Amino acid sequence: MTPYELARAEIGTVEWNNGSNPKVLAYYADAGHSWVKDDSVAWCAAFVGAMLKRAGMKGTGELTARSYLGWGEFVSIEDAKPGDIVVFKRGNSTWQGHVAFYVSCDAKVVKVLGGNQSDQVKESDYLRSSLLSVRRMPGLQAVTPASSPTPSRSLMGWIMYLLTGGKA
């Protein structure tokens, strides 16, 4: 499964009012921060890192959203595809931000799927004016209409097709 598909399966995970949700603590651990024992610590980057690791990919290993500004390959917002990683600024801070998976966008907002959005995993809208960067997972290529695989391909066939740039 892709990190995005894994993230979609986590929709509905929430921070607990009393104690810490073990699912959220597992995001920290999977992202390389098993020392975090409180789900009130900002966890958007832990969520993205955990989904990447669970899909066999490497995240930044950091808990800061902006650490993803240098991860993967830059993609313009016009070329963004569901599952790309998006990084937003937060307030006037030079280091704070938010990181999530791209879902869609219009002229004003970017819809994302992420963790620690109102203390849960869910889809949310963020102002496009706060977008810092769109990043694509290394090695993944957008499928062009001229070379699109046939609908009869299996999921693994699609993944191999994307990973090999259409040569599978």
pLDDT, tens only, 80-92: 999 999 999 998 8
Q: Using CB atoms within 10 Å of the CB of residue 136, give its burial: 0 to 12 exposed, 13 to 18 middle, 19+ buried.
A: buried
The SS3 of residue 121 is coil
Which regions of the chain carry the CATH code 3.90.1720.10? 3-136
Closest by alpha carbon to 123, among 10, 40, 21, 17? Answer: 10
Domain 3-136: assigned CATH number: 3.90.1720.10
Per-residue pLDDT of the chain (168 residues; tens, 9 = 90+): 999 999 999 999 999 989 899 999 999 999 999 999 998 889 999 999 999 999 999 999 999 999 999 999 999 999 999 999 999 999 888 889 999 999 999 999 999 999 999 999 999 999 999 999 999 987 654 433 333 333 444 455 545 555 555 544
Q: What is the value of pTM for the model shown?
A: 0.81
